[in-house]
Amino acid sequence: MICEFIAEHRARFGVAPICRVLSEHGCKIAPRTFYAWQARPPSKRVLWDMTVAEILAGYYTPDADGRRKPESLYGAAKMWAHLQRQGIPVAKCTVERLMRANGWQGVRRVKKVRTTVADPAAQRAPDLVDRTFAVDAPNRLLVADFTYVRLVTGVFVYTAFVVDAYAGRILGWACSTTKHSWFVESAIRQAAALRAREGHPLAGSTIHHSDAGSQYTSVHCGETIMLAGMKPSIGTVGDAYDNALAETIIGLYKTEAIRKDSPFRTGPLRSVHDVEHLTADWVHWYRAPRGAVGSNGGENPSSVRCRGSGLKLGAA
């Protein structure tokens, strides 16, 4: 550490003067000690640090368009897990230390803004989930929610998602400039169509769970859910736990895709088409398999980020 200090300040003060001042203050060191240290070949740890730091820098260095790679969104824990999946046997503490030393950090979650506006006259489906989001197979439980994105013009675009609770996989999404129910219905139909194309159609026992927003309690949306092969389930109003899994996806979307410095953005969001293109890129990246993790033996990383732990949310 002392030699590193001398190396850092030698250009300004010189080696001998620094050694003299340090020795006067109880840190005995001679110039020849510093030069001997300097002549040594780099240690294995230093070489390994340089290798890992170079790999990490590749994620944070902007490309020709000024965009960083999506992995730059990761904090130290997720970055370490990502490197493990890439076959790089680096210690978690090493990743934490190098990221801290270089000023690299993951994005922080944004605070969710309330978008649920219930229709007091609407008849609600029962809550079939009761805050238990852990399931043992796909197609058992799909959760849904939507959020808003503000354009530079001040207009809002609304984005709806449908997510399989088993692996946190986004099955359907849709954007709209209005809060009418058609866009949440479009996301539902997209999810059902995707599972059908994959050879695993929704067979009538699948639960579709959402909050009590008027879009989801409307008669037309209820019909869309049942025609897609699902049973509707509605949580309570203003209770974050009742749709926590979907709200987690919303939080990731706002944090990873929408913020101004997101690697998925190419500039200001001026229209619903800009939001659609950005969302499509983010969903494609989010769905991409990045290693087998979790209880199903082959989940994508979204399961690690948002799948239920098996505990009942809100329970004592």
Contact 209, 128 (CB under 8 A): yes
Between the CA atoms of 245, 251, 253 and 257, what dihedral angle is there, to the nearest 10 degrees?
Answer: -160
Contact 259, 233 (CB under 8 A): no
pLDDT at 297: 41
- Cα separation, 209 vs 265, whole angstroms: 30
Encode burial over 215-231: b for 16+ CB neighbours within 10 A, e otherwise.
bbbbeebbebbeebbbb
Q: Beta-carbon neighbour count of residue 26 at 10 Å?
A: 6
141-306 homologous superfamily: Ribonuclease H-like superfamily/Ribonuclease H (3.30.420.10)
pLDDT at 225: 93
Q: Where are the domains of the chain?
A: 2-39, 44-102, 141-306
Radius of gyration (Cα) for the chain, nearest Å?
26
As given in the structure block, the two tokens for residue 178 are 């209005």
**3-state secondary structure string across 285-306:** HHHCCCCCECCCCCECHHHHHH
Encode burial over 166-178: b for 16+ CB neighbours within 10 A, e otherwise.
bbbbbbbbbbbee
pLDDT at 112: 54
| 3-class secondary-structure state, position 225 | helix
Between the CA atoms of 240, 245, 246 and 247, what dihedral angle is there, to the nearest 10 degrees?
Answer: 40
- Cα separation, 151 vs 148, whole angstroms: 10
DSSP category for residue 137: S
In tens digits, the chain (316 residues) has pLDDT values of 788 888 888 888 898 999 999 898 888 889 889 888 888 887 788 888 889 999 999 888 887 777 788 888 888 888 998 898 888 999 999 999 999 888 888 777 655 555 555 545 556 778 888 878 888 899 999 999 999 999 999 999 999 999 999 988 999 999 999 988 899 999 999 999 999 999 999 988 899 999 888 889 888 999 999 999 999 998 876 555 667 788 888 988 998 899 888 889 888 999 999 999 999 999 999 887 553 333 344 445 444 444 443 434 444 3
| 3-class secondary-structure state, position 158 | strand
Distant-in-sequence, close-in-space partners of 86: CB < 8 Å, separation ≥ 6: none
- Cα separation, 284 vs 176, whole angstroms: 19
